[in-house]
Structure 1
């Protein structure tokens, strides 16, 4: 059974450091809520990711 014929994605990337700040996937066309969720992910602290990846700069 086919759920959807397309998967939509949005990614925000830092132009200074080429780091991915946030990404979302949706089974249908992206809606306002999806973009708001993406912005929320980008504004959250990334301390846990810094620790996992052993980065020296947060």
Structure 2
């Protein structure tokens, strides 16, 4: 993957992290939040952050 692709991937991962953080906030605001969903989204955020770190390392940042 070239530099352009890595930058695009990094931006996509950042967007996914933000989307999942919003999902978590919205779910927590509910009267009875679904803990399964919250756990799943938190796990995905961790995976996205790990992937983002690898991409940034490849970009030299």
TM over 0.5: no
| Higher helix proportion (structure 1 or 2) | 2
| Higher strand proportion (structure 1 or 2) | 1
TM-score range normalised by the length of the shorter chain: 0.3 to 0.5
- Give the TM-score taking structure 1 as reference length: 0.33
Which one scores higher on RCO, CA 8 angstroms, separation ≥ 6?
A: 2
